[in-house]
Chains A and B, each alone.
Chain A
Amino acid sequence: MSDRIRRVAVLGGNRIPFARSNSAYAHASDHDMLTAALDGLVDRFQLQGQRLGEVVAGAVLKHPRDRDLTREAVLSTRLAPETPGYDVQQACGTGLEAVVLVANKIALGQIDAGIAGGVDTTSDAPLALNEDLRQILLELNRTRSTPGRLRLLGRVRPAQIVPEIPRNSEPRTGLSMGEHCAIMASEWGVTRAEQDELAAHSHKRMAAAYERGFYDDLLTPYLGLERDQNMRADSTVEKLAKLSPVFGGPEGTMTAGNSTPLSDGASAVLLASEEWARERELPVLAYLIEAQTAAVDHVHKREGLLMAPAYAMPRMLDRAGLTLGDFDLYEIHEAFAAQVLCTLRAWEDPVFCRERLQRSEPLGSIDRERLNHNGGSLAAGHPFAATGGRIVATLAKALRERGSGRGVISICAAAGQGVVAALEAP
């Protein structure tokens, strides 16, 4: 193995506009959408027929038939069919984790270029057979005698026709992610007004970015959509204030406006070594300089389910010798406005930083103007595994535009996990 670590360049990204659930992409599969996102990237960077080192992607809600979803999608694109691919899955951290995996192989010299991506659909969701029916059918398969098989079939009941619908709940707590976040919001004293303000800001910034053509070379229109369907350019705090709470009971502060909607979409990011980019005269948007994952014990230690990024960040910063203030742009995934606000508050809080992070000083606060500068998930929507790719490409391009500085990404994920990464302008 090479003993030299190479710099990893982010060369660009492509995604399809994100759609609201059961809408524009209601009949598109994960395979279709991932293929569309990859093909758009292939077009943009003239990768037709090229054999890349690896394509890594994943989906959170995945059909059993989509074994090797990524490899199958690669075969459907115009990349050389000799390009290997594999799937990863880490809930909403999938997309960013895929970027880290590709980057690490590039850094070690095992590959020179690769694509990281993610896709999710909540419209074309996998339904499973009713568990009782499944057991009967499996037993039927094992039974040889006809009378035995008939006896088994006699056990089938009409109620068993109802399928198992994938649930958005934590297996170990039974609470949905929104309910978990509502607990966090209450613990951190996050108000409705703050959340609505963050949501309105997200829509406004994303609309402005679209207006100035920022997203022109980051998106490929798909099935009639040219922009993210969820985005409301005219969103205001006043309009958001009219919505009823959906999590945390009637007293709750979380609404459909300050929580991400169920969405469909896909994204892909092209990563390469500097040599590979130079040979093809492709400009470097940014370098991936650090990454870190963390997890919290939300089951027994009553940690906030979505607070893991709060732990991942200082670990990464310490290793990189950076502080939270050393960045020019901050991309904190807006799963819920409350998640972002709780995370910011935790980093500002002397008690959290001392008790949980074992730091004598708080991590510090973030200038809100530098936060999700081109819009976040509240505006774009959040097809789970596609969010990481969207954010990496968006931040890399924003850093290239600035011409200098650093940016940092923080993404919370189900099961108490979090992924953070840092990028630097070339």
Chain B
Amino acid sequence: MSRAEQAVSDRYVRVVNSSAGGLLARRVGLPRPVPLERYHAGDPVVRGRVLLGGAPGGRLLSATAAVLAGARAELATGFEESLRSLVAGAGIDATVFNPEAPGEQRFKALVFDATGITDSTGLVALQTFFHPTVPRLQLCGRVIVLGTPPADCRSVRERTAQRALEGFTRSLGKEIGRGATVQLVLVAAGAEDGMSSTLRFLLSPRSAYVSGQVVTVAGGYAPPDDLDWERPLSGRTALVTGASRGIGEAIASTLAREGAHVVGLDVPALAEDLKGVARRLDGEAIELDITAPEAPAALAERFSSGLDVVVHNAGVTRDRTLAKMPSERWSELMEINLSSQERIDEALLQAGALRRNGRIVCVSSMSGIAGNAGQTNYATSKAGVIGRVQALAPELAGRGLTINAVAPGFIETRMTAKMPITIREAGRRMSSLSQGGLPIDVAETIAWFAHPASTRVSGNVLRVCGQNLLGA
């Protein structure tokens, strides 16, 4: 299993992928999750052929072809003269695909520009393109539909058609299986040059556990030209709170892999773990309680020389039904998960510590979207995070900054390992990918938000949940 890993603890995935277990699972009709492919340093963006198509009149094909060319993806297209000319113009040696000719052609990814659909009758283009091609998708394949943000549409009919795309991608995500993911990327007019980091992320194994999501690429400014796709965060400094273990440690490691100088932060009680992480990543450690009154000022002072990425990962759960929840339990959590973030960001912004093209990335939660029994406090804080992202995004745009959030679903961590088996199994299987995610999946998503090319990605809340049924 060199290219596909999974949590060691998820025995079920291993059992159903053995020959005997697979047979049993097929017979009994049990979910059959496939081991997801994940990214390893040095891997190509896509390992396999990408089929590019589009509804006539679409505006994203050229930009998409350029991104694919830059990513050195093997490309295929249909025969349409316009499409072939466009691909030739992008300097891509694309093969042809004729759905009417039987053949061995298989694809790792299907990318469809639906921006040309301006009427509900045109939506059949989705069926025409995907009907013959979805069965040709390889294991852990990728499906990306590109659309226009409905609010930007000129006519009622266009808006209707563009909004309809989401129903398509979400449903396809649920039925596609075999480790494949399906996304809708909405690109505003004028933001065509801002898709590169997003398409690369969604096409690659970095987005292994992201499916059924809608990403908006809009606003902001054009990405810089001199991008190092191998180590995009090289020369940048990233602060990661709660970095000593679990998801936080994975975030710190991933940002370091991307070239960032990582400063990890955690409470003094976890100092030993934190120092270990900092040493391993050749970064720095800050032992600090973020809820302390002096913390915001201390951080603003510490990063007065400049900071590029802030990841608000630190968070806790203090579960109890509301009837049994004392106020300390509520307040302590709210301080750590939400209020301290607000104060720290305000201090950093006020001090001008965040450099131009800087990034704020917050960690929300599936509970914040769907709600969860026993987590009124937690879900309130995590929904509040979403509010912050949505409110701050337009405000930060003027300063060349972006803010986004990830909302993890069931991620295999020490916390979930302690869950009762029934709840844990339900959490894992109740998703399109029928398995839990890994901390790295959250970290990769954050690395995409943090990417210097993600200038037009702001105000997004992306679930990393394998398209979990809850709140979807």
Contact = CB atoms under 8 A, between A and B. Distances in A.
A349 B81 CA distance: 8
A189 B79 CA distance: 9
A190 B101 contact: yes
B151 interface: no
B93 A189 contact: no
A345 B96 contact: yes
B94 A351 contact: yes
B84 interface: yes
A353 B94 CA distance: 11
Contacts of A191: 98, 100-101
Query: Which residue, B91, B94, B100, B101, has most C-beta atoms of chain A within 10 A?
Result: B101
A293 B85 CA distance: 28
A153 to B, nearest CB: 51
Interface in A170-206: 185-192
B168 interface: no
B95 to A, nearest CB: 6
A314 to B, nearest CB: 15
A134 to B, nearest CB: 39
A351 B84 contact: yes
A189 B103 contact: yes
Given A188-B96, A349-B96, A351-B93, A251 B102 contact: yes
A98 B332 CA distance: 92
B87 A190 contact: no
A234 interface: no
Contacts of B104: 186, 251
A190 B98 contact: yes
B88 interface: yes
Contact of A350 (B87, B101, B102): B87
A351 B92 contact: yes
Contacts of A356: 93
B81 A350 contact: yes
B97 interface: yes
B76 to A, nearest CB: 9
B85 to A, nearest CB: 4
Contact of A189 (B81, B89, B98): B98
Interface in A336-366: 345, 349-351, 353-356
A253 B96 contact: no
A252 B103 CA distance: 7
A248 B103 CA distance: 8
Given A186-B101, A186-B104, A253-B101, A350 B85 contact: yes
Interface in B70-124: 77, 79, 81, 84-85, 87-89, 91-98, 100-105
A188 B85 CA distance: 16
A355 B77 CA distance: 15
Interface residues of A, number: 20
Nearest to B97: A189
Contacts of A192: 101-102
A353 B88 contact: yes
Given A187-B96, A188-B96, A349-B96, A354 B88 contact: yes
Given A191-B98, A351-B92, A186 B103 contact: yes
Nearest to B79: A189
A128 to B, nearest CB: 35
Contacts of B87: 350-351
Contact of B102 (A188, A253, A349, A355): A253
Contacts of B100: 189, 191
Nearest to B105: A186
A355 B93 contact: yes
B92 A251 contact: no
A351 B105 contact: no
Given A186-B103, A189-B101, A190-B101, A350 B96 contact: no
Contact of A185 (B84, B85, B88, B101): B101
Contact of B88 (A188, A252, A253, A355): A355
A253 B104 CA distance: 12
A59 B259 CA distance: 64
Nearest to B102: A251
A33 to B, nearest CB: 38
Contacts of B102: 186, 192, 251-253
A63 to B, nearest CB: 39
B96 A189 contact: yes
A285 to B, nearest CB: 38
Given A186-B104, A251-B103, A351 B88 contact: yes
Contacts of A189: 79, 96-98, 100-101, 103
B93 A350 contact: no
A186 B104 CA distance: 7
B86 to A, nearest CB: 8
Given A186-B105, A189-B103, A355-B93, A350 B84 contact: yes
A356 B93 CA distance: 8
A342 to B, nearest CB: 10
Nearest to A359: B88
B448 to A, nearest CB: 30
A303 B457 CA distance: 41
A373 to B, nearest CB: 26
Given A350-B88, A351-B88, A187 B95 contact: yes
Nearest to A188: B96
B65 to A, nearest CB: 11
A411 B103 CA distance: 26
A188 B105 CA distance: 10
A143 B97 CA distance: 62
B82 to A, nearest CB: 10
Contacts of B93: 351, 355-356
Contacts of A248: 103
Contacts of A188: 96, 98
Interface of A: 185-192, 248, 251-253, 345, 349-351, 353-356
Given A187-B96, A190-B98, A355-B92, 6 more contacts: A185-B103, A186-B102, A191-B98, A192-B101, A349-B96, A351-B87
26 contacts: A185-B103, A186-B104, A186-B105, A187-B95, A189-B97, A190-B98, A190-B101, A191-B100, A191-B101, A192-B101, A192-B102, A248-B103, A251-B103, A345-B96, A349-B84, A350-B84, A350-B85, A350-B88, A350-B89, A351-B84, A351-B88, A351-B92, A351-B93, A354-B88, A355-B91, A356-B93
Shortest beta-carbon contacts, A-B, top 5: A189-B98, A186-B103, A350-B88, A355-B93, A354-B88
